[in-house]
Structure 1
Amino acid sequence: MAVIWVFLYVLHHIQDEAVDKSNFKECNQIAFYRRQKLLRPGKSLYRALLDTVSLSDENVKFQISHEENKVLLQVEIYEIEGNIFRLKINEAAPLRARYEVPDVLIKEPTTQKLSMSQKEGGVLVLANVNEDYKLRVTANPFQIELQFKDETVLSMNSNGLLYFEHLQPPPSDGNPTAENEEAAGDSSKDNQEDLGLWQEKFGSFLDIKAHGPSSVGMDFSLHGFDHLYGIPQHTESLLLKNTSDGDAYRLYNLDIFGHKIHDKIGIYGSVPLLIAHKPDRTLGIFWLNSSETLVDINTKAVAEHIPTESAADISKQRAVPLTDVRWMSESGIIDVFLLMGPTAFDIFKQFAQLTGTQALPPLFSLGYHQCRWNYEDEQDVKAVDAGFDEHDIPYDVIWLDIEHTDGKRYFTWDKKKFQNPKRMQELLRKKKRKLVVIVDPHIKADPMYTLYSQGKEKGYFVKDRNGKDFEGICWPGSSYYLDFTNPEVRKWYADQFAFKTYKGSTNILFVWNDMNEPSVFKGAELTMQKDAVHYNNWEHRELHNLYGFYQQMATAEGLIKRSSGKERPFVLTRSFFAGSQKYGAVWTGDNTAEWSYLKISIPMLLTISMAGISFCGADVGGFIGDPEPELLVRWYQAGAYQPFFRGHSNMKSKRREPWLFGEKNTQIIREAIRERYVLLPYLYTLFYRAHTEAEPVMRPLWIEFPEKLETFGVEDEYMLGNALLVYPVTDKEAKAVSVLLPGLKEVWYDFRKFKRMEDQGTLKIPVTLENIPIFQRGGTVIPLKTAAGKSTEWMTNISYELRVALNTEACAVGELYLDDGHSFQYLHKKQFLYRKFTFHKNILSSSCTDESGQYRTTCVVERVIFLGLGQQPTLVTACSKGGKEKEVVFTHDTKTAVLILENLALRVDSDWEICIK
């Protein structure tokens, strides 16, 4: 029956690309959401007991009490260095411990002592070290205002929606059933009509809540903000929308094949980080909860009095925005971090301070990846690899999906199709390329399968509510799911990647974690039952959104371990959570080969990037279906300027290697991929910035232009770093696009034609199929390679070009980061090179940004192109440090103001100057 069910599932996925929404809950079918929504805005029933306040070097503690059920909650307020505040609310005396999310924070945050400036009149006022921030706690009703220089920036529980279902003993008959409807927490008597307190039904699935209802929620009011971003992953617009229609944003990791666009249902990953922005401030709310979470947003205008000379004049008012954000989670505690910026880049650093920065990827992983479900066998892999060389198209990695295994047993090979996997990898190694294979979390139920038999013997599988190993249906049929929340399981799993254990693997094999929401074909909402039981007796409901995070963690540790800690891993995951950036890359899942999915991929990737995960991408061409040639070409052009660049397709899609769509399209795709490889020095430098400074590689315009209101909602173009503006063409047969070039004092140049754009603002730009609009920002220097190689490893010694785009002051600055591209030597042995290029007063200089760097290279800067240099030079000279000045041959076009210097041979790892006279 299991095999038949899998067959029907696959058949359904192949034939019907539309989502069957009946498999997934609408918001009003979620019991804890219905209960919380019964609590309407108004006066809170909680009051603070100010006589319980205690002040320590670490935090401020006090209790709050619910007026009706009298349950006491413990409130803890922390100031964390770096302009962060933390609020924790838990039961003062719970019947059992409530779940607090482990392993996401990279360390326990360093706190700073808050001072108490007032505790009288029903008000507690706390001040930070610098006394520029104050926390004003009102006792009755309980609410907190966070003020900056006496102006309220954010308030909590101002709408009285704090919600906390306290744990209760089971019903007296010992059998928790839906008929036991005693109100929990601050639920009203109306809750007795709700059937979700001790058990909940969805279709044929019954979820037994062994510990009863434990939902938590809270409202936040953001004063002066009406532009909100974040909380991925959804197929939605960049700007978060109001949810007054009852369609809340849902954070619940689900396998939704062919997900619809403009839908707030949660798909494969979740990061509970929301960012609010206005011209003079950016702030963030990080809701650290891994259970199912819903977010309501409501923006409105409120009247604000404008001070006048006459105190009696109250007629002058203005409307200012106020946005209410309501977080609702099924379980856990309230643990929220308020990231106070004040800039977007400060928010990114603050979030990284808590959850870590993007891992520095191996250089090969920034090249082009070729994937399909499935490449058939060794000969197919060999033929596809040869096809790239035959058509002179660079690529770095070929991927194998589930069919490469022996009957969907991961860490194995199909013995007929892949008789000698090491030989196949050696062929790729000679080409300086890599292999990625899929490793899913479900384990085929087969006593002869080592992973299953060991997992069973050691008790490493997730349990069902009756204490037996949880059994689900997935690709192999009957399957069991490893409990990655258990550190012992993660260590054992990491050991499976050892070369002696993973037979047929080599050090050019890397890993793809799929289906790790986890996907359970016959489960409620096609995932694991919430009443399944994990390590330390925690129910799955508590930690559902962490499951994929833990698998990627264990996989990354396994790849590092197999190299004795010497080599960087590459792991792509479909499911993710806050902090997943530490372990590798993510992609947007099973998208569709339609123009609308290309268009929506841009705001999806921007949102993921703002949530700390810079290494992200969408399947080029669309996973499901067959893209028309024009769509495929446009997708390659977009993907070439996005962080993770992979072509991927479904098993029933027609083959779509880049050379199968006619010579003209092959030529355009080839050029797009080559552009990616030429751009790698800039891209790798951006990833180093993401790794060290938490700066997103791909970022919305408003981040670079935070005061320009016209940029706040732009989602069809974006900045790649601070220097490149990219506008992917996402409409069929487009002849022109409207591009916003922001900033009155900015200068922009066509990246390919070198032409200075005469105007700013929204411009109508003609487009052809050959390329997409890309512009370099004046004041920047972009390092490039002078040519593309067959793969990244072929390009080590290819010389560099610097593209110097001048601003209105005829200045420019840029950086280049270099290391060996694969090891941790940059970290442990300072084997890196970090250079700064500065053009000022007609001198371009190369200097060292970090003197501790020890990396050396014989590579040279061969060419420099200056954009916007109007004057005709009479002499150009170059001089290395300690060397002789030499004259440089140049060409200058006074009409386009482009100066080109070639045959420079200036070492990348040395100081030098180019003087223009």
Structure 2
Amino acid sequence: MRLPFFIILISSLLISSPLPARSWKKDEFRNCNQTPFCRRARARKPGACSLIATDVLISDGNLVAKLIDKNREDPATDLDPVKPLILTVSAYQDAILRLKIDEDQTLDPPKKRFEVPEVIIPEFEAKKLWLQKIVKEQIGGDSKPSSVVYLSDGYEAVLRHDPLEIYVREKSSGNRVLSMNSHGLFDFEQLRTKKEGEDWEEKFRGHTDTRPYGPQSISFDVSFYGSDFVYGIPEHATSLALKPTRGPGIDHSEPYRLFNLDVFEYIHDSPFGIYGSIPFMISHGKSRGTSGFFWLNAAEMQIDVLGAGWDADSGISFPSSGNRIDTFWMTEAGIVDTFFFVGPGPKDVLRQYTTVTGTPAMPQLFATAYHQCRWNYRDEEDVENVDAKFDEHDIPYDVLWLDIEHTDGKRYFTWDKALFPNPQEMQRKLAAKGRHMVTIVDPHIKRDDSYFLHEDATKLGYYVKDATGKDYDGWCWPGSSSYIDMLSPEIRSWWGERFSYLNYLGSTPSLYIWNDMNEPSVFNGPEVSMPRDALHVGGVEHRELHNAYGYYFHMATADGLIKRADEKDRPFVLSRAFFPGSQRYGAVWTGDNSADWDHLRVSIPMLLTLGLTGMTFSGADVGGFFGNPEAELLVRWYQLGAYYPFFRGHAHHDTKRREPWLFGERNTELMREAIHVRYMLLPYFYTLFREANTSGTPILRPLWMEFPSDEETFSKDEAFMVGNSLLVQGIFTERAKHVSVYLPGEQSWYDVRTGATYTGGSTHKLDALEESIPAFQRAGTIIPRRDRFRRSSTQMTNDPFTLVIALNSSKAAEGELYIDDGKSFNFKQGAYIHRRFVFKDGKLTSSDARNSSSGKLMFNSDCTIERIIILGHAAGPKNALVEPENLKLEIELGPLQLHGRSGPAVLTIRKPGVLVTNDWTIKIL
């Protein structure tokens, strides 16, 4: 959602004179030169760091050292001495290195610097390796020592004392993987007491930041070795492979900004930060593989990707070869709390990162299906009509959403009694068809003394405070608003209780929640957000935790829904703002996009980047939030959106209605078919959600994640993998006649519509068909489907499955199917089915893939396999034998038909009748 014109005008008057819309958007936000810490950090020269490591020892299983400034005078006589910093290196299982640098608390700094709580999962600390010894060595004939500690059997960590440098290297080769401060750009502005005459205030567009603790920024360089490209650090509407922001031929470029902001109609191909921030970067190259670097810090961050060969004004000389990529990280506050991930494969890095921050939550089945949303469905009659129209046009959907207009005067946890007089009955009618409802709940609370939520929050002191200690008063949808202080566990627990059926009157078990505007958005605040000197519990400044505010709000809401269900059912909460760890609490989306082809195209690198940084349950508003899409664009968006992990159509209230049946019979047919594709593939998607839940591997994957040695894939971001089996290529231009598709690897690929075969390692020019976008099944894989179409996913629970077997050159294939009750947490105690299918030597075998320590609970199903389709098998076999039933079946030979297209003949076995729960074999005779 975004500001209607009258609120924009009011907000502009409160800040300055109103400006035209485009310049208002540009000028509303700071650039690096307007951000003092960024400007200072970028002015540093290589080798400027004068810190050295001393007093290096093992303490409590960690390597600990003091960092002192070798260029300072005697601290006893120096008027402004640089106090020592404390460096701590810790090793963890799976070759994870953690490096922390903070002020020495024994020297009594003015305040304790903020460390972001409750992001690192408790299980991670149990994986700590207790370091036993330090090996001293001289490197390259340097007489100054380095300290080496164990990281794993294959890797070790090195602390170079003077000049200060920290890196991870391979034991066998001595080759570096990751390093920090190799160019001597490290800087740590220490907290100090203001001197007479000093002015620490910062001003921007009429706003004053009092900055009571003065400059406290941190910056350093990080180098990735054996790297061809770097990726990650969402959220930006730009390419998957991060572009250099400083270097030869790059003039006046901005760093990638990480600062959660409510950005109105964001533009594509920009390094500007928008709704979420994850300071996690992944490197990938053919020579070495994959590595990753994560900085746990919630303050504003700016990151430069430094171009090769750059030595112009800065004096920095970076290698022109492709064996290293250098980056420069800057933040306004906090501490150094960083993690080095050595890989060496893409999925290894994701496993290592989610070992620290947690794997994605397992969603309910309904949440993985299609969602219908608009700002706003007007009333109960509108809801009933929209629901009926989906049935009339044979279009399945699972969730209908209500935006802010459903409330009583934009008071959350209420209903407009004139428009929604019977909310429970409305929800029950949807639930009778297996459907659900989502309502919006935002963090700004209307300052109305008669509003129960404001009354309670005020009385309990649960609001964020302004710099003077009063409840912060900002402007958002309800007008004058205050914001719940989600940093406090006590307050989060109170917030969670608001979702009980007793407190949220009119809610039912089929109602779930949407957290919007939780960056937080403040219409009259600096950069449309909260002042940085606002105060949270414990005296924490908002600048220190800004990027994590939405994370804690998301956490509290999800926990509240779990409490509401007595911890039996999984929550569903969509959040616009996010931070590392948000994957544990629900879904996110890419915010207020626009109905244009550029935004359709950029949705793919944005979602791929989110997946690479843990946020696999993500999507973009299908059709674009702003504007009125032409029918062709809307159809293409549905065809692409059917493969998003989170699949939702959404639109601004000023746009024309755009439900799928409003664009003519042919376009309705095309959009229906796209949605049917999603429902057909729900078993495959749900299996991939479980894979993400256990390993951190995303659902949408860049091609190089599955083909890490294929250099052709490294910078491609118009095509993507869905799991390891499907490759999808979007169509991103109007009236396209042809589309080029690169199919990686050496194996064949099968057109999912026709079964036609295409060779790997080649680019294929294909007709751009109106019926669908190109999608291919990888040879050697088996995909489970459900081909019977129902009103909703919950009505498909007992339907049989189809297995599509795509044979490779060895006439083999394999795949998996995961099933549980689709709702509860019982899967954590072993109540699930996990089958592994293998086709080899003319036999299809089903076996149990459950972990031996899955738990005591069991889950059973009477579902069967009703059809088996075999792609790539020569004609000839007439029969199949099902064992142990000893049942003989005929094999059909005929074309595969999907979307009305037909191709070469394929083998089909109908009604083998085998249960998905059982072990069995089907042999081709």
**TM-score tier (shorter):** over 0.9
Give the C-alpha shift of residue 896 in structure 1.
Answer: 2.9
Correspondences of 1:522-537 after superposition (within 5 Å) = 522-537=524-539
Distance 1:910 1:415, change over 3 A: same
What is the aligned partner in structure 2 of residue 870 from structure 1? 874
Question: Given the alignment, which residue of 55, 61, 65 partners 1:62?
Answer: 65
Given that 1:126 and 1:136 are in contact with CA atoms closer than 8 Å, whether structure 2 keeps it comes out as yes
Q: Report what 1:275 is aligned to.
A: 282
| Structure 2 partner of 1:329 | 331
Aligned to 2:117: 102
Quote the residue 1:30 is aligned against: 35
Matches within 5 A, 1:536-575: 536-575=538-577
Alpha-carbon deviation of 1:889? 4.2
Distance in 2 of aligned mates of 1:17 and 1:719? 36
Picking from 249, 264, 284, the partner of 2:271 is 264
What is the Cα deviation at residue 765 of structure 1?
A: 1.1
Question: Residue type of the partner of 2:259?
Answer: Y
Secondary structure at 1:907 match in 2 = coil
Aligned AA for 2:116?
Answer: V
- Map Cα deviations across residues 813-870 of structure 1 (whole Å, 9 max, x no partner): 0000001101111113x21100011000000011111165721111110000000001
1:118 is aligned to 2:136: yes
CA contact (8 A) 1:146 1:152 kept: yes
Name 1:152's counterpart in structure 2. Answer: 176
The superposition leaves residues 42-78 of structure 1 with CA deviations (integer Å, 9 ceiling, x where unpaired) of 35311222xx111135210011112234421111111
Q: Structure 2: how far apart are the matches of 1:200 and 1:407?
A: 36
Note the alpha carbon deviations across 1:137-170, whole angstroms, 9 max, x for none: 2222211232113112222211111110011012
Matches within 5 A, 1:198-597: 198-244=200-246, 245=251, 246-279=253-286, 280-300=288-308, 319-597=321-599
Q: Assess, with a 3 A threshold, how the Cα gap between structure 1 residues 129 and 455 changes in structure 2: closer, same or farther.
A: closer
Provide the rounded CA distance (Å) in 2 between the counterparts of 1:650 and 1:9. 20
Closer, same or farther: CA 264–319 of 1 in aligned 2, 3 Å: closer
Query: Sequence identity of aligned pairs in percent?
Result: 46
**Aligned residues of 1:6 and 1:473 also touching (Cα < 8 A):** no
> Which residue of 2 is the match for residue 800 of structure 1?
801
1:788 aligns with 2:793: no
1:103 aligned partner, one-letter code: E
- Contact persistence 2:186–2:219 (CA under 8 A): yes
Q: Residues 97 and 340 of structure 2 are in contact (CA less than 8 Å); yes or no, is this contact kept in structure 1?
A: yes
AA at the equivalent of 1:785: R
Cα distance in 2 between the residues matched to 1:17 and 1:71: 47
Alpha-carbon separation, structure 1, partners of 2:593 and 2:5 = 26
C-alpha separation in 1, matches of 2:434 and 2:357:
34
AA paired with 2:134?
M
Q: How far apart, CA to CA, are the structure 1 residues paired with 2:895 and 2:396?
A: 33
Post-superposition Cα deviations, 1:688-717, rounded to whole Å, max 9, x if no partner, equal 000011110001000000000000001000
CA contact (8 A) 1:247 1:264 kept: yes
CA distance in 2, matches of 1:788, 1:884: 31
For the 8 Å contact 1:442–1:481, the answer to whether it is kept is: yes
| 2:911 partner amino acid | N
- Per the alignment, residue 717 of structure 2 pairs with 715
**Length, aligned pairs only:** 875
Measure, in 1, the Cα distance between the counterparts of 2:415 and 2:777: 47
| SS at structure 1 position matched to 2:535 | coil
Q: CA deviation at 1:871?
A: 4.3
- Structure 1 CA distance for aligned equivalents of residues 381 and 888 of structure 2: 54
Q: 1:3 to 1:397 in 2, by over 3 A?
A: closer
Please name the residue that 2:193 is paired with: 169
Q: Deviation at 1:15? A: 10
Q: How far is 1:221 from its partner?
A: 1.8
Deviation (angstroms), 1:101: 0.9
1:7 & 1:694 partners in 2: Cα distance?
41
Partner of 2:657: 655
Q: Give the structure 2 partner of residue 184 of structure 1.
A: none
- Other-structure match for 2:154: 132
Deviations 1:730-756 (A, max 9, x none): 11101111101011x211000110111
Quote the Cα distance in structure 2 between the aligned partners of 1:170 and 1:407: 46
Contact 1:19/1:260 (<8 A) preserved: no
Contact 1:254 1:268 in 2 (8 A): yes
Letter in 2 for 1:775: F
SS of structure 2 residue aligned to 1:896: strand
SS at match of 1:798: coil
Equivalent position SS for 1:669: helix
Tell me, yes or no, if the aligned pair for 1:549 and 1:577 is still in contact at 8 Å: yes
**Contact kept in structure 1, 2:97 and 2:151, CA below 8 Å:** no
1:747 aligns with 2:748: yes
Give the drift of 1:888: 3.5
Cα distance in 1 between the residues matched to 2:450 and 2:302: 43
**Matched-pair contact (CA < 8 Å) for 1:872–1:892:** no
- The verdict on how the C-alpha distance between 1:72 and 1:776 changes in structure 2, with shifts beyond 3 A counting, is same
The 3 A distance-change label for structure 1 pair 301 and 213 is: closer
Matched position secondary structure for 1:25: coil
Q: What SS does the aligned partner of 2:307 have?
A: strand
1:888–1:904 CA contact under 8 A, matched in 2: no
Distance in structure 2 (CA, Å) of the matches to 1:4 and 1:685: 45
The secondary structure found in structure 2 opposite 1:569 is coil
After superposition, the Cα gap between the structure-2 partners of 1:10 and 1:899, relative to the gap in structure 1 and judged at 3 Å, is farther
Deviation at 1:124, TM superposition (A): 2.1
The question of 1:77 aligning with 2:101 is answered no
One-letter amino acid matched to 2:222: F
Question: Is 1:143 aligned with 2:158?
Answer: no
Aligned to 1:835: 835
Q: Judging changes above 3 Å, is the alpha-carbon distance between structure 1 residues 9 and 595 closer, same or farther for their aligned structure 2 residues?
A: farther
Q: Is there any run of 5+ residues in structure 1 with no aligned partner, and where?
A: 173-178, 182-197, 304-316
Measure how far apart 1:759 and its partner are: 5.7
Provide the rounded CA distance (Å) in 1 between the counterparts of 2:708 and 2:307: 20
Task: For 1:526 and 1:11, locate their aligned partners in 2 and report how far apart those are by CA, in whole Å.
Answer: 10
Q: Distance in 2 between matches of 1:657 and 1:885?
A: 47
**C-alpha distance in 1 between matches for 2:422 and 2:714:** 54
Asked if the contact 1:868–1:897 (Cα under 8 Å) also holds between the matched residues in 2, the reply is no
State the Cα distance separating 1:500 from its structure 2 match. 1.0
Paired residue secondary structure (1:427): helix
Distance change (3 Å), C-alpha of 1:63 and 1:349: same
Distance 1:33 1:759, change over 3 A: closer
Whichever residue aligns with residue 854 of structure 1, its letter is: M
TM-score w.r.t. length of structure 1: 0.93
CA distance in 2, matches of 1:15, 1:370: 33
Take 1:839 and 1:80, find their aligned partners in 2: how far apart are those partners? 39
Distance 1:302 1:380 in 2: 59
Task: State the superposition RMSD in angstroms.
Answer: 2.1
Is the 1:252–1:270 contact (alpha carbons within 8 Å) kept by the matching residues of 2?
Answer: yes
SS at match of 1:44: coil
CA separation of 1:14/1:624 partners in 2, compared to 1, >3 Å: closer, same or farther?
Answer: farther
Structure 2 residue 50 is the aligned partner of structure 1 residue 45: yes
Ranges in structure 2 where 5+ consecutive residues have no aligned partner:
73-80, 312-318, 897-902
